[in-house]
Every structure is written in C-alpha cells, then in structure tokens.
A = this chain, B = another copy of it.
C-alpha cells in the first residue's frame, strides 16, 4: 500500500520528518473514534516513501479498530518493511480518552552520527 521510490540521493546522509495531525481510527472496544498526531522521522536507506501514499496509508486506519500501542508499532513496522531505513522513529500522540492522554514512541535502527542534533520540525509552520 505504501509506495516507495528509490532514494534519489543514497550517497547523502539526511533526515525526513513528516507530521500528520489528522490521524483517526476507532477504539477496538467501543467503536468510538480515536484521534492522534503521527510523527515519522527517518534517515532513508535505499528507498523513500511517497507522501501521498503515506497519507492514504494513514487514512486506511480511519474505520478500523486499533489499540494505541499496536497501531503505532504497526505504522513503524509497515514503513520499515517498505523502505528499510537506516533509522526511524514513529510517535503517536493520542487525544484524551477518559481523562488520560497516551503517547507511544517507537524506534528502529541507529541514528547516523552526522544527524545528531537535527531539531524536530516545529509544527505548524507558516502554513
């Protein structure tokens, strides 16, 4: 489902960060909607994922039931399977339910030393 394309600059060390504040799925117990901001950061290896297919991939969870811990891991797992990155972090910041807010952060691989200290994207930017 996630389209990939060959890393156009495999000789470069770089970081891609995509922030998606419009993630929604269903609670597997009550069927009621859950909402989250999903943040993906990765250092590409041989492939990159295409952004429109990433959006559709996130949208595919819209009417499915998923636990927070599981769905965040699954997003990472499917992205890792698709692009085999040097390093990747997926963070799901879920909205309050029952007075409790939950954030899940999963990491894969090793951050290249040359990318140490790259600041996370400040969301939102000018638009």
Contacts and interface: CB of A to CB of B under 8 A. Distances in A.
A8 to B, nearest CB: 4
A21 to B, nearest CB: 4
Contacts of A98: 32, 51-52, 55
A93 interface: yes
Interface in A70-95: 70, 72-73, 76-77, 93-95
Nearest to A36: B125
Contacts of A37: 125-126
B115 A105 contact: yes
Given A18-B101, A96-B96, A100-B127, 12 more contacts: A5-B67, A12-B73, A14-B104, A16-B102, A33-B62, A35-B99, A35-B126, A55-B99, A95-B126, A107-B114, A107-B115, A119-B120
